[in-house]
Protein backbone atom coordinates (compact mmCIF):
# COMPACT_ATOMS: atom_id res chain seq x y z
CA UNK A 1 0.00 0.00 0.00
CA UNK A 2 1.50 3.34 -0.99
CA UNK A 3 1.91 5.40 2.12
CA UNK A 4 3.74 8.35 3.53
CA UNK A 5 6.22 7.49 6.26
CA UNK A 6 6.11 9.30 9.57
CA UNK A 7 9.59 10.61 8.77
CA UNK A 8 8.49 12.30 5.54
CA UNK A 9 7.78 15.99 5.87
CA UNK A 10 4.33 16.86 4.63
CA UNK A 11 3.89 19.70 2.21
CA UNK A 12 2.35 22.66 4.01
CA UNK A 13 0.80 25.75 2.50
CA UNK A 14 0.41 29.16 4.16
CA UNK A 15 -3.02 30.63 4.88
CA UNK A 16 -2.54 33.85 2.88
CA UNK A 17 -4.24 36.12 5.43
CA UNK A 18 -1.95 35.11 8.31
CA UNK A 19 1.02 33.19 6.92
CA UNK A 20 0.21 30.27 9.25
CA UNK A 21 1.09 26.99 7.49
CA UNK A 22 -1.26 24.00 7.37
CA UNK A 23 -0.69 20.56 5.81
CA UNK A 24 -1.86 20.48 2.19
CA UNK A 25 -3.92 17.30 2.71
CA UNK A 26 -6.48 16.94 5.47
CA UNK A 27 -9.49 14.75 6.21
CA UNK A 28 -13.17 15.16 5.33
CA UNK A 29 -15.77 13.61 7.63
CA UNK A 30 -18.97 13.60 5.57
CA UNK A 31 -20.49 10.09 5.84
CA UNK A 32 -17.12 8.66 6.95
CA UNK A 33 -17.42 9.89 10.57
CA UNK A 34 -21.20 9.66 10.97
CA UNK A 35 -20.70 6.40 12.87
CA UNK A 36 -21.78 6.98 16.50
CA UNK A 37 -23.22 3.81 18.02
CA UNK A 38 -21.36 1.44 15.69
CA UNK A 39 -18.32 0.11 17.57
CA UNK A 40 -16.57 -1.38 14.53
CA UNK A 41 -16.95 1.80 12.49
CA UNK A 42 -15.92 3.95 15.48
CA UNK A 43 -12.72 1.87 15.70
CA UNK A 44 -12.04 2.53 12.00
CA UNK A 45 -12.61 6.25 12.46
CA UNK A 46 -10.26 6.24 15.47
CA UNK A 47 -7.49 4.59 13.42
CA UNK A 48 -8.05 7.04 10.56
CA UNK A 49 -7.69 10.02 12.88
CA UNK A 50 -4.66 8.46 14.56
CA UNK A 51 -3.04 7.86 11.16
CA UNK A 52 -3.73 11.44 10.10
CA UNK A 53 -1.89 12.88 13.10
CA UNK A 54 0.86 10.22 13.25
CA UNK A 55 1.75 11.07 9.66
CA UNK A 56 1.79 14.82 10.22
CA UNK A 57 -1.74 15.74 9.09
CA UNK A 58 -3.88 18.17 11.11
CA UNK A 59 -6.81 19.54 9.13
CA UNK A 60 -10.23 17.98 9.82
CA UNK A 61 -13.42 19.27 8.18
CA UNK A 62 -16.91 18.61 9.53
CA UNK A 63 -20.40 20.09 9.66
CA UNK A 64 -23.58 19.87 11.74
CA UNK A 65 -25.06 18.50 8.50
CA UNK A 66 -22.92 15.33 8.86
CA UNK A 67 -25.00 13.50 11.50
CA UNK A 68 -22.78 12.40 14.38
CA UNK A 69 -19.49 13.33 12.66
CA UNK A 70 -18.72 16.34 14.88
CA UNK A 71 -19.35 14.39 18.12
CA UNK A 72 -17.41 11.40 16.83
CA UNK A 73 -14.47 13.55 15.83
CA UNK A 74 -14.47 15.40 19.16
CA UNK A 75 -14.75 12.21 21.21
CA UNK A 76 -12.02 10.39 19.28
CA UNK A 77 -9.65 13.35 19.35
CA UNK A 78 -10.09 13.52 23.15
CA UNK A 79 -9.57 9.76 23.50
CA UNK A 80 -6.41 9.88 21.38
CA UNK A 81 -5.19 13.02 23.17
CA UNK A 82 -4.64 14.82 19.86
CA UNK A 83 -7.17 17.64 20.18
CA UNK A 84 -4.58 20.42 20.46
CA UNK A 85 -2.74 19.20 17.38
CA UNK A 86 -5.74 19.43 15.08
CA UNK A 87 -6.79 22.32 12.86
CA UNK A 88 -10.57 21.94 13.24
CA UNK A 89 -12.90 23.29 10.58
CA UNK A 90 -16.66 23.01 10.76
CA UNK A 91 -19.66 24.85 9.38
CA UNK A 92 -22.88 26.61 10.20
CA UNK A 93 -25.89 25.30 8.29
CA UNK A 94 -29.12 26.94 9.37
CA UNK A 95 -31.03 30.22 9.02
CA UNK A 96 -31.27 33.13 11.42
CA UNK A 97 -28.84 34.81 13.79
CA UNK A 98 -29.89 33.03 16.98
CA UNK A 99 -30.21 29.61 15.33
CA UNK A 100 -26.70 30.11 13.88
CA UNK A 101 -25.24 31.03 17.27
CA UNK A 102 -26.91 28.03 18.94
CA UNK A 103 -25.67 25.68 16.23
CA UNK A 104 -22.10 27.01 16.31
CA UNK A 105 -21.96 26.74 20.11
CA UNK A 106 -23.31 23.22 19.85
CA UNK A 107 -20.60 22.35 17.30
CA UNK A 108 -17.90 23.64 19.64
CA UNK A 109 -19.25 21.44 22.43
CA UNK A 110 -19.42 18.40 20.17
CA UNK A 111 -15.95 18.98 18.77
CA UNK A 112 -14.69 19.71 22.32
CA UNK A 113 -12.93 22.94 21.42
CA UNK A 114 -13.08 26.30 23.13
CA UNK A 115 -12.46 28.10 19.89
CA UNK A 116 -12.68 26.90 16.34
CA UNK A 117 -9.82 27.17 13.92
CA UNK A 118 -12.21 27.70 11.02
CA UNK A 119 -15.99 28.25 10.88
CA UNK A 120 -17.49 28.19 7.40
CA UNK A 121 -20.97 29.02 6.15
CA UNK A 122 -22.13 25.70 4.67
CA UNK A 123 -23.41 26.02 1.10
CA UNK A 124 -23.84 29.77 1.72
CA UNK A 125 -27.04 29.15 3.73
CA UNK A 126 -28.07 32.56 5.15
CA UNK A 127 -24.47 33.60 4.64
CA UNK A 128 -24.80 37.33 5.28
CA UNK A 129 -26.44 36.71 8.65
CA UNK A 130 -23.80 34.23 9.84
CA UNK A 131 -20.87 36.23 8.48
CA UNK A 132 -22.04 39.21 10.57
CA UNK A 133 -21.94 37.01 13.69
CA UNK A 134 -18.64 35.45 12.67
CA UNK A 135 -16.93 38.82 12.20
CA UNK A 136 -17.82 39.55 15.84
CA UNK A 137 -16.73 36.08 16.96
CA UNK A 138 -13.40 36.47 15.20
CA UNK A 139 -12.77 39.78 16.98
CA UNK A 140 -13.68 38.09 20.28
CA UNK A 141 -11.33 35.14 19.56
CA UNK A 142 -14.06 32.48 19.38
CA UNK A 143 -13.04 31.52 15.83
CA UNK A 144 -9.64 32.03 14.23
CA UNK A 145 -10.72 32.06 10.58
CA UNK A 146 -13.99 32.52 8.70
CA UNK A 147 -15.01 30.86 5.44
CA UNK A 148 -17.73 30.03 2.94
CA UNK A 149 -18.32 26.71 1.19
CA UNK A 150 -20.14 25.09 -1.67
CA UNK A 151 -19.84 21.81 -3.51
CA UNK A 152 -21.39 22.61 -6.88
CA UNK A 153 -20.21 24.52 -9.95
CA UNK A 154 -23.55 26.34 -10.11
CA UNK A 155 -22.58 28.24 -6.93
CA UNK A 156 -19.05 29.26 -7.95
CA UNK A 157 -20.30 32.69 -9.06
CA UNK A 158 -21.89 33.26 -5.65
CA UNK A 159 -18.72 32.16 -3.85
CA UNK A 160 -16.82 34.62 -6.01
CA UNK A 161 -19.10 37.49 -4.90
CA UNK A 162 -18.52 36.63 -1.24
CA UNK A 163 -14.74 36.46 -1.44
CA UNK A 164 -14.25 39.44 -3.77
CA UNK A 165 -14.27 42.12 -1.04
CA UNK A 166 -11.26 40.29 0.40
CA UNK A 167 -12.35 39.90 4.02
CA UNK A 168 -13.16 36.17 4.06
CA UNK A 169 -10.26 33.97 5.10
CA UNK A 170 -11.21 30.70 3.37
CA UNK A 171 -13.31 29.48 0.46
CA UNK A 172 -14.08 25.75 0.31
CA UNK A 173 -15.08 24.44 -3.11
CA UNK A 174 -15.26 21.32 -5.28
CA UNK A 175 -12.24 20.92 -7.55
CA UNK A 176 -10.89 17.79 -9.21
CA UNK A 177 -9.97 16.29 -12.56
CA UNK A 178 -13.64 15.32 -12.85
CA UNK A 179 -14.96 18.75 -11.71
CA UNK A 180 -12.26 21.22 -12.80
CA UNK A 181 -14.46 24.31 -13.30
CA UNK A 182 -13.15 26.22 -10.25
CA UNK A 183 -10.01 27.03 -12.21
CA UNK A 184 -11.98 29.00 -14.81
CA UNK A 185 -12.22 32.02 -12.45
CA UNK A 186 -12.76 31.21 -8.80
CA UNK A 187 -9.25 30.01 -7.95
CA UNK A 188 -7.70 33.05 -9.63
CA UNK A 189 -9.98 35.35 -7.62
CA UNK A 190 -9.06 33.49 -4.44
CA UNK A 191 -5.39 34.05 -5.23
CA UNK A 192 -5.96 37.76 -6.00
CA UNK A 193 -7.92 38.33 -2.80
CA UNK A 194 -5.51 36.23 -0.72
CA UNK A 195 -8.28 33.83 0.27
CA UNK A 196 -7.18 30.34 1.34
CA UNK A 197 -8.73 27.51 -0.68
CA UNK A 198 -9.91 24.20 0.76
CA UNK A 199 -10.82 21.66 -1.90
CA UNK A 200 -13.78 19.40 -1.17
CA UNK A 201 -14.88 16.40 -3.27
CA UNK A 202 -11.28 15.85 -4.52
CA UNK A 203 -12.37 12.45 -5.85
CA UNK A 204 -15.86 13.63 -6.95
CA UNK A 205 -17.27 11.72 -3.98
CA UNK A 206 -15.26 8.64 -4.94
CA UNK A 207 -16.68 8.41 -8.48
CA UNK A 208 -13.24 8.98 -10.01
CA UNK A 209 -12.02 5.63 -8.70
CA UNK A 210 -14.75 3.92 -10.73
CA UNK A 211 -13.36 5.50 -13.87
CA UNK A 212 -9.81 4.19 -13.31
CA UNK A 213 -10.75 0.80 -11.88
CA UNK A 214 -8.49 -1.94 -13.26
CA UNK A 215 -6.40 0.64 -15.15
CA UNK A 216 -2.72 1.02 -14.31
CA UNK A 217 -1.17 4.41 -13.60
CA UNK A 218 0.76 5.70 -16.61
CA UNK A 219 4.49 5.06 -16.18
CA UNK A 220 5.22 8.81 -16.27
CA UNK A 221 3.15 9.32 -13.06
CA UNK A 222 6.29 8.09 -11.29
CA UNK A 223 8.03 11.33 -12.36
CA UNK A 224 5.90 13.24 -9.83
CA UNK A 225 5.99 10.50 -7.21
CA UNK A 226 2.47 9.09 -7.68
CA UNK A 227 2.15 5.59 -6.28
CA UNK A 228 -1.67 5.40 -6.54
CA UNK A 229 -4.59 6.93 -8.38
CA UNK A 230 -5.53 8.83 -5.21
CA UNK A 231 -2.12 10.49 -5.27
CA UNK A 232 -2.45 11.21 -9.00
CA UNK A 233 -5.80 12.95 -8.36
CA UNK A 234 -4.59 14.88 -5.30
CA UNK A 235 -1.27 15.96 -6.79
CA UNK A 236 -3.13 17.40 -9.78
CA UNK A 237 -5.21 19.50 -7.32
CA UNK A 238 -2.21 20.55 -5.22
CA UNK A 239 -0.35 21.52 -8.40
CA UNK A 240 -2.65 24.55 -8.61
CA UNK A 241 -0.86 27.30 -6.68
CA UNK A 242 -4.10 28.81 -5.28
CA UNK A 243 -4.99 25.58 -3.44
CA UNK A 244 -4.18 25.55 0.25
CA UNK A 245 -5.51 22.15 1.32
CA UNK A 246 -7.54 19.22 -0.07
CA UNK A 247 -9.80 17.23 2.28
CA UNK A 248 -10.53 13.72 0.95
CA UNK A 249 -13.23 11.93 2.94
CA UNK A 250 -12.54 8.50 4.45
CA UNK A 251 -12.34 6.59 7.74
CA UNK A 252 -9.96 4.04 6.23
CA UNK A 253 -6.51 4.54 7.81
CA UNK A 254 -4.78 3.06 4.76
CA UNK A 255 -6.55 5.57 2.56
CA UNK A 256 -5.56 8.39 4.93
CA UNK A 257 -1.91 7.35 4.58
CA UNK A 258 -2.27 7.01 0.82
CA UNK A 259 -3.82 10.48 0.58
CA UNK A 260 -1.19 12.14 2.78
CA UNK A 261 1.38 10.60 0.44
CA UNK A 262 0.25 13.14 -2.16
CA UNK A 263 1.60 15.88 0.13
CA UNK A 264 5.16 14.64 -0.13
CA UNK A 265 7.59 14.56 -3.03
CA UNK A 266 7.26 16.56 -6.24
CA UNK A 267 4.11 18.25 -7.55
CA UNK A 268 3.16 18.59 -11.21
CA UNK A 269 3.93 21.80 -13.07
CA UNK A 270 1.37 23.25 -15.50
CA UNK A 271 2.56 21.14 -18.44
CA UNK A 272 2.35 17.98 -16.38
CA UNK A 273 -1.12 18.97 -15.06
CA UNK A 274 -2.31 19.29 -18.67
CA UNK A 275 -0.88 15.87 -19.46
CA UNK A 276 -2.63 14.41 -16.39
CA UNK A 277 -5.96 15.99 -17.38
CA UNK A 278 -5.67 14.72 -20.98
CA UNK A 279 -4.88 11.25 -19.71
CA UNK A 280 -7.85 11.26 -17.31
CA UNK A 281 -10.12 12.45 -20.12
CA UNK A 282 -8.92 9.60 -22.33
CA UNK A 283 -9.89 6.89 -19.83
Ligand X SMILES: NC(=O)c1ccc[n+]([C@@H]2O[C@H](COP(=O)([O-])OP(=O)(O)OC[C@H]3O[C@@H](n4cnc5c(N)ncnc54)[C@H](OP(=O)(O)O)[C@@H]3O)[C@@H](O)[C@H]2O)c1
Site residues (vs ligand X, CB under 6 A):
28-30, 32, 61, 122-123, 149-151, 172, 200-206, 209, 230, 247-250, 252, 255, 258-259
Q: Which CB sits closer to ligand X, 51 or 108?
A: 51
* Distance in angstroms (rounded) separating the CA atoms of residues 152 and 160: 13
Strands (E), the chain: 12-14, 21-23, 27-28, 59-61, 87-92, 116-121, 143-149, 170-174, 196-200, 245-246
Q: Between residues 28 and 268, which has the closer beta carbon with respect to ligand X?
A: 28
Q: Tell me how far, at minimum, the Cβ of 89 lies from ligand X, in Å.
A: 8
Closer to ligand X by Cβ: residue 50 or 151: 151
Question: By C-alpha distance, which of 225, 224, 237 is closest to 277?
Answer: 237
**For residues 140 and 203, which CB has a smaller minimum distance to ligand X in the complex?**
203
**For residue 163, is it left (φ>0), alpha (ψ between -120 and 50) or beta?**
alpha
Residue closer to ligand X by CB (options 201, 240) is 201
**Ramachandran bin of 135, using left for φ above 0, alpha for ψ from -120 to 50, beta for the remaining angles:** alpha
The DSSP result for 59-109, as a single string, is EEE--TTSTTHHHHHHHHHHHHT-GGG-EEEEEE-SSSHHHHHHHHHHHHH
CB of residue 93 to ligand X, shortest distance in Å:
9
Nearest-approach distance from CB 44 to ligand X, in angstroms? 9
At residue 13, what are phi and psi to the nearest 5 degrees? -130, 140
CA–CA separation, 217 and 214 (whole Å): 10
Decide whether 249 or 268 has the Cβ nearer to ligand X: 249
Cβ proximity to ligand X: between 146 and 247 the closer is 247
At closest approach, how far in Å is the CB of 32 from ligand X?
A: 6
Question: Distance (Å, rounded) from C-alpha 167 to C-alpha 74?
Answer: 29
Least CB distance to ligand X at residue 16 (A):
20
Please report how close the Cβ of residue 95 comes to ligand X at its closest, in angstroms.
16
Write down the least CB distance from residue 231 to ligand X, Å. Answer: 8
SS3 224: helix
Amino acid sequence: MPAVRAADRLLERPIPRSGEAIPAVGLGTWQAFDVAGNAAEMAQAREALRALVDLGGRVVDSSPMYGSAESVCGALAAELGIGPKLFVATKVWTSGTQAGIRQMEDSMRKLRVERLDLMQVHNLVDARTHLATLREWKKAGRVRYVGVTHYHVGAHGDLEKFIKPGDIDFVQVNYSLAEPQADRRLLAIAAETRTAVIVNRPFAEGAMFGRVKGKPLPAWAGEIGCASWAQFFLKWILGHPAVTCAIPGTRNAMHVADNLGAASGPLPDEAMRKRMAAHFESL
